[in-house]
Chains A and B, each alone.
Chain A
Amino acid sequence: MAVNAIEINNLVRKFGQLVAVDGISFNVQKGEIFGFLGPNGAGKTTTINILCTLLLPTSGNAYINGHDVVKERRQVQRSIGLVFQDPTLDDYLTAEQNLIFHAYAYGVPHDIREKRMSELLELVQLTDRRKNRVATYSGGMKRRLELARGLLHHPQILFLDEPTLGLDPQTRRLIWDHINTLRQQENLTIFMTTHYMDEAEYCDRIAIIDHGKIVALDTPKFLKDSLGGDTVSVQADNHEQALQELTESFHLAPIVQNGMINFSVKQSDTFLPEFMRSFRSGLRSISVHRPTLDDVFLKLTGRAIRDQEASAWDQMRRMMGGGMHG
């Protein structure tokens, strides 16, 4: 029987009165990219710290590669590679020295080390900077170096805690290219957190944590579908007539908001052509909004993935969402 990459059973961590992680359970399969999303302070970092042996759980168990994170720390540490959101490189040393430190610390034999270092540096495109001090690196270069370092000891599971936070779009793109290449080469399981919706889309499955509890766990597609389909907004010549037609002929539940008529349909791509053909009230405009993970996140946690202020659109969708599912 195949062992799960990560198994978490009823994990609890308290800090005094505060319950940071409140009895979470889930498994991550081997080879999966697993997204762990949640608002700031929801318990993400606490969970990751427990999984990588930096923090003890108050109760419950967690297994990495079948090894208990409390009782078999050494095996757990050997199984995992980490890229934290805050840099953990020694700025005063060169890239090469940082990697050598890591190789020694994990007991990577000398001959394998040299080969592996060259390969990984080549892959993250830092070969020409390997003799430079890390202090001279940009934020994106540091993150790439951390990625290379995290993989130096051939871990089976890679933890990426906000791997691209604060980086520009090109660099984020580059880092993701590296992650995808490496994932295929090394048959890695990836456990990641992110504040970027497009990165969450890369995940095979996503767990959303809020107030220390898992509030949703499914594939990105399923999570989005669970919102009840796409939202169509139309402006008609005559709202009264249009509303009547939508209700009676199309059996929809339209709502008027900000001068727009909104309604939701399961599959807008097949619905729209048919709708355009047979809708008799005059149309002035039509627009479609397909649900995003941000919408899912917003609905479940009441906050946007990125801690931005909810726009008018978001607020409307939230109200509609409540109406549709309430």
Chain B
Amino acid sequence: MKMAEELRGIWVIAYRDLLRFLQERARLLSTFAMPILFLIIFGAGFKNVIGPMAPGVDFVQFIYPGIIAMTILMGSLMSGLSIVWDREFGFLREVLVAPISRSSIVLGKIIGSTIVSLGQAIIMLVLAPFLQVELSLILILKLIPILIIISIAISGLGILIASRMRSQQGFQLLVQIVIMPMTFLSGIFFPVNNVAVWLSVISKLNPLTYGVDAVRQVFLGVTTAPAQAIGVTIFGHTMGVLDDTLIVVGLGALLVILAVISFSKQD
């Protein structure tokens, strides 16, 4: 009975975010704008500059998995933005006075934004044939759980930030301060092993790096690609999909727990 009540709470929060997302066509389009822009700029513009750093693969094929991860990143942060948005426009009060526990609200928001960003990432897969990236059903089935895990982790981060933010401007500012460096230092645009040591160290401390690496390995296949050159190497050990995934799972669990604690803290 109690459990059913919580599940209903989680579902209604997620349902409303989905419903709302579908109604906002502009937002739907805008979430694709950034990843596609980066794909074009980097894919075409920097191909000959950064390309040689990733030997053995075509540069577009190198950044494309990263762009998929980036789509997940952008989409998942909406979890936080929607909380800040609701707070600013009053709807959050309707949610907070309803008989739904705070942790159910957080979980509902995470599920909502995970479904939305997964959908967006899958739509981005449409580009694959145009970029000579091979797709197979098995690849997609392997990809989806990894994308879900990344999305849950980033959604948790978004809510953690949003739980203490009172305005959209504040949230956007923090997103820019935290997320932009995280994006650029996550190995989306260059292999983290083949850069200056300081850059390599920072990138390897960035948890998103492992998410990106997992997605890329699924795309390129560990055996076919020169993994040593492209993959993330820590103390001589090249991370496999499983290693990467475990790091993201651990981090995701931590972020979600912190998000629940922070959001549940009552004034």
Contacts and interface: CB of A to CB of B under 8 A. Distances in A.
B23 A93 contact: yes
A87 B90 contact: yes
Contacts of B267: 54-56
A86 to B, nearest CB: 5
Nearest to A91: B89
Contacts of A97: 19
A82 B15 CA distance: 22
Interface in B77-99: 86, 89-99
Contacts of A78: 99
Contacts of A89: 90-91, 94
Contacts of B12: 101, 104-105
A90 B16 contact: yes
Interface stretch (B3-11, B150-158, B184-192, B211-219): B3-11
Contacts of B136: none
A105 B90 contact: no
B8 A107 contact: yes
A97 B23 CA distance: 12
Given A104-B11, A107-B5, A53 B24 contact: no
B20 A77 contact: no
Interface in B227-267: 266-267
Interface in A153-174: none
Nearest to B15: A104
Nearest to A87: B90
B93 A84 contact: yes
A52 B11 CA distance: 23
A222 interface: no
Contacts of B16: 90, 93, 101
Contacts of B100: 105
Given A86-B90, A91-B89, A104 B20 contact: no
Contacts of B23: 92-93, 133
Interface SS of chain A: helix, strand, loop or mixed? loop
Given A86-B90, A89-B91, A90-B16, A74 B99 contact: yes
A226 interface: no
A191 to B, nearest CB: 14
Given A77-B99, A88-B93, A107-B5, A93 B20 contact: yes
> Which range holds the interface residue count of chain A?
20 to 34
A26 interface: no
A97, A101, A102 pick with most chain B CB within 10 angstroms = A101
Nearest to A84: B93
A53 B91 contact: no
Contacts of B91: 88-90
B205 to A, nearest CB: 38
B97 A53 contact: yes
A279 interface: no
A202 interface: no
A80 B96 CA distance: 13
A106 interface: yes
Contacts of A107: 5, 8, 99
A102 B90 contact: no
A89 B86 CA distance: 9
Given A90-B16, A104-B8, A84 B90 contact: yes
Interface in A236-261: none
A93 B97 contact: no
Interface string B13-36: 001100110011000000000000
Nearest to B96: A54
A92 B21 CA distance: 9
Interface string B44-71: 0000000000000000000000000000
Interface string A107-129: 10000000000000000000000
A101 B108 CA distance: 13
Interface of A: 52-56, 73-74, 77-78, 80, 82, 84, 86-93, 97, 101-102, 104-107, 133
17 contacts: A52-B97, A56-B266, A77-B98, A77-B99, A82-B93, A87-B89, A88-B91, A89-B94, A90-B20, A90-B94, A93-B16, A93-B23, A105-B9, A105-B99, A105-B100, A106-B98, A107-B8
Q: Which 5 residue pairs across A and B have the least CB separation, nearest first? A: A104-B12, A105-B98, A88-B90, A77-B99, A88-B94
Interface of B: 5, 8-9, 11-12, 15-16, 19-20, 23-24, 86, 89-100, 266-267
